[in-house]
Amino acid sequence: MQGYFWFVGKRLLQLFAVIFCGISATFLITHLSPIDPVEQVLGRLSARSNLSPEAIASTRAALTEMYGTGQPILNQYFNFWTRLLRGDLGPSLLAFPTPSMELVTRAMPWTLGLLVTSTVFTFVIGNLLGALAGYNPDNRFFKAFGLIAMGVQPIPYYIVAFILLIIFGFLFPVLPISGGFAMDVRPAMNWQFILSILQHSLLPALSLVLVGFGGWFLGMRALVSNVVNEDYVTYAGLAGVKKQTIVGGYVIRNALVPQLTALAMALGGVFSGTVITEQVFNYPGIGSLLIDGVNYGDYSLVLAVSTVSITAVALAIFIVDLLHPLLDPRVRAE
Amino acid sequence: MFSVFRDLIRYNIEFAIGLILVGAVVIFACLSYFAPVDPTLIYVAMPDQPPSGQYWFGTNSRGQDLFWQLSAAFRNSLIFGITVAVLSRIISITVGLLSGYVGGWVDRVLMFINDIFVAVPIFPILVLFYFVLRNNMDSFTLALIMACFGWPFDARLIRSVALGLKHREFTRHAVFAGMSTPKILLEEHLPYVMPIVFSTFMANMLWSIGLEVTLAVLGFTNLNNPTIGTVLYWAISHSAIVVGVWWWIVIPVVLIVMTFLGLFLLAVSMNEYIDPRSRLRRMGA
């Protein structure tokens, strides 16, 4: 048990290091760049309206105070962290004066729901089928499946999402292709609303599953086909251990350990995939927020989305890592 | 080297298919050096012409000949992918070999940094870079940024090989013969990790070109520079499918799928070749 605590402690340290470095990087990128957020906002404001020079000057002073860009960079950095720890990243310009953190927390459930369900589903199904394919290398069905997985897997997210959009949006318009729920449904906890959410999330989730599935399938198939040839599997077979026990307890369990590590490493990529999916299907999550923020030049919103997403991905990796010792007792004993 | 190549083509159908696909795309991309038109100019041909004898791939709504446009786009994207792959390979070889061979606290520090880089999601950071650099972000800057994030996974792989090499006899001989550490790493150990470097090279190109496509279709790169992503961006912003200019979408998508499938097959088959067990199984020896 002590080994497990050491393991958790080490991972916890790493978690904080990742979050600290990631967020510091976002700060440095935004604050060391030659482009001043105040001037950007002013440019946007004065492009649309006719402001007097005095008004521009006072807006500039107000914005400089709001962003705190007049101070030395170290002060800014400390201010940034103290404010961040209170969960305050300033008002969003996109929806002034709503705090940008509030916009992020509003969008978060959509992204989380889509991401968690599709990732878990992809991981479980992909690995299960991959394991069966590796265990039965001569099965025709699995061979065909492997070919399909190989063909779909390398195609970039965007293309797959776009092809789905064309198929289900233009050729066979059966599924809704845009939004989080139907326009005429009121957000409340009733069947109609939930059904509408499910219906709208089907296509985005399908694109995520299609893209992610192949990698797990192929990886697991390769791993299992190696594990099957290990001596202990042959021995268990000769000793008359039931086939289900061999597949579930010996083969899959051992092959799953590297796959779990791969899952932790893939999460960052999965997140970037969601951003695209949300953009393509106009889903009201964090990715759409990020893109809107960039397009409107909304400084604090972009900062908020990046800090939250870096923290969330790091946390998710941490959680997956904690599952590791459950599968692999060696990690516990170390 | 050549016999390895011959073996791969003969015994590994995936490698052969991948080679044909990538070869076709590379030849197509190289044609752009003989292009009669400048791909950055717009309205030089009649817009919205379907594929014909004069315009093989048709023309788009911006008045560009799609054949030359796509050829330049694929050249730029491939060069971009190769740049990222070369730069990140340099980092990953250095970190991997050093960390595996030297060991001790060097290893621990390098791997700690490595793990941080693995966990930081790159997409928000790339978007952030675009956000502050805007149109100053050219494709070399983007390649440089991506290279800084594309090495950690492969560095770990190389490290694990280097760890094994460290205790082999020839390494000891080299040490006793008075070879310096950099020399051992470059002359003795590097050849052993080269197969991994090649296979991860392809995988890295897939990753970087895919990310570039992603960024470009969202409009987050320099849109005047023709790449695979920007061609799609313009097609979508002109609603090519709705308007009925299907060739503007379909032809690039087919070519993209060819490129990605080809690179993926090359990476997978090389990976398989590295592992002697699966190589023997395939050759039936």
pLDDT on residue B278: 63
**Are the C-beta atoms of A107 and A289 separated by less than 8 Å?**
yes
Closest-approach residue (CA) in chain B for A163: B253
A280 alpha carbon, distance to own chain's centre: 16
- What is the nearest CA distance from B115 to chain A, expressed in angstroms? 8
Contact B213/A156, CB-based, under 8 Å?
yes
The domain tally of chain B equals 1
Distances (CA, A) of A305 to A33, A200, B149, B211: 19, 23, 20, 19
Q: CB A150 to CB B127 under 8 A?
A: no
Count residue pairs from A and B with Cβ separation < 8 A.
Answer: 129
In angstroms, the CA A276 to CA A280 distance is 6
CA-based nearest distance B156→chain A, Å: 12
Q: With an 8 Å Cβ cutoff, is A25 touching chain B?
A: yes
Q: Per-residue confidence at A159, pLDDT binned at 50, 70, 90?
A: confident
Interface residue B244 vs chain A (CB under 8 A): no
CATH number of the domain enclosing B198: 1.10.3720.10
pLDDT tier at A186 (50, 70, 90 boundaries)?
low
CA nearest A277 in B: which residue?
B214
Task: Please answer yes or no on whether B232 and A30 come within 8 Å at the CB atom.
Answer: no
* Residue B127 forms part of a structural domain: yes
Please list every residue in chain A whose beta carbon sits closer than 8 Å to the beta carbon of residue B263: 154
Mean pLDDT for A24-45 is 76
Burial zone of B199 (CB within 10 Å; 0-12 exposed, 13-18 middle, 19+ buried): buried
Q: Which of residues 121-160 of B touch A (CB under 8 A)?
A: 121-125, 127-134, 153
Residue B186, class by beta-carbon neighbours within 10 Å (0-12 exposed, 13-18 middle, 19+ buried)? Answer: middle
pLDDT of the residue at A256: 85
B66 falls within a domain: yes
* Mean local confidence (pLDDT), A46-50: 71
CA distance B210 to chain A (A): 5
| CB-based contact A294 B133, cutoff 8 Å | no
Q: Which of residues 189-248 of A touch B (CB under 8 A)?
A: 218, 222, 226, 229
With contact defined as beta carbons under 8 Å apart, do A114 and A277 qualify? Answer: yes
Q: What is the pLDDT of residue B285?
A: 43
Asked if the Cβ–Cβ distance from B256 to A159 is below 8 Å, we say: yes
pLDDT in tens, B94-123: 999 999 888 889 988 898 888 888 877 788
- B264 vs A contacts (CB less than 8 Å): 150, 153-154
Contacts of B214 in chain A (CB under 8 A): 156-158, 272, 276
- Across chain A, what does the average pLDDT equal? 82
Q: Residue B75 — pLDDT band, cuts 50, 70, 90? A: very high
Is residue B1, in this structure, part of any structural domain at all?
Answer: no
Evaluate whether residue B260 is within a structural domain: yes
Q: Report chain B's mean pLDDT, rounded to a whole number.
A: 85
Q: Is residue B249 part of a domain?
A: yes
Q: How far is B173 from chain A (nearest CA, A)?
A: 33
Q: Given CB atoms, is A18 within the 8 Å cutoff of chain B?
A: yes
Among all residues of chain B, which has the CA nearest to that of A32?
Answer: B132
Chain A neighbors of B251, CB-CB under 8 A: none
Q: Tell me which residue in A17, A154, A310 faces B261 most closely, judged by beta carbons.
A: A154
Question: Per the CB < 8 Å rule, is A150 touching B264?
Answer: yes
Least reliable range by pLDDT among A120-124, A130-134, B20-24, B49-53: B49-53
Structural domain including B41 reads: 8-46+59-283
The answer as to whether B40 is a domain residue is yes
Residue A170: is its pLDDT beyond 80? no
CA–CA gap between residue B275 and residue A114 (Å, rounded): 37
Q: Indicate whether B51 belongs to any domain.
A: no
Token reading at A168 = 């289900």
Percent of chain B having pLDDT more than 90?
A: 18
DSSP chain B: -HHHHHHHHHH-HHHHHHHHHHHHHHHHHHGGGG-SS-TT--SSS-TTPPS-SSSTT-B-TTS-BHHHHHHHHHHHHHHHHHHHHHHHHHHHHHHHHHHHHH-HHHHHHHHHHHHHHHHS-HHHHHHHHHHHHGGG--HHHHHHHHHHHSSHHHHHHHHHHHHHHHTSHHHHHHHHTT--HHHIIIIIIHHHHHHHHHHHHHHHHHHHHHHHHHHHHTT-S-TTS--HHHHHHHHHHTTHHHHT-THHHHHHHHHHHHHHHHHHHHHHHHHHHHSHHHHHHHHT-
Q: Do A155 and B121 touch (CB under 8 A)?
A: no
Residues in contact with B110: Cβ distance below 8 Å, sequence separation at least 6, in sequence order: B95, B98, B99, B155
The residue ranking higher by pLDDT, A125 or B269, is A125
> Over 80: is that where the pLDDT of B4 sits?
no
Which residues of chain B neighbour A272 with C-beta distances below 8 Å?
Answer: 121-124, 211, 214
Query: Per residue in A287-325, pLDDT tens?
Result: 888 888 888 777 788 888 888 888 888 888 888 888 877
The residue type at A25:
A
Nearest CA in chain B to A314: B119
- Residue A272: is its pLDDT beyond 90? no
- Kindly report, residue by residue over A201-221, the tens digit of the pLDDT: 888 888 888 888 888 898 888
pLDDT at residue B157, as a whole number: 86
pLDDT score of B81 more than 90? yes
B267 confidence band (pLDDT: 50, 70, 90): confident
Q: Check B131 against A294: CB less than 8 A apart.
A: yes
Which residue in A30, A279, A309 is closest to B121 by CB distance? A309
| pLDDT tens-digit map of B136-153 | 778 888 999 999 988 988
Q: Is B181 a member of any domain? A: yes
Q: Mind telling me how many Å the CA of B197 is from chain A's nearest CA?
A: 19
Report for A49-53, A177-181, A242-246, B69-73: range of highest mean pLDDT: B69-73
> Which of B131, B151, B271 is the best substitution to test chain A (most A C-beta atoms within 10 A)?
B131
- Helices of type H across A2-52: 2-32, 37-48
Give contacts of B 164-183 with A, CB under 8 A.
Answer: none
Quick one: pLDDT at residue A123? 92
Chain B residues with CB under 8 Å of A314 CB are: 119-120
- Whether the per-residue pLDDT at B180 is higher than 60: the answer is yes
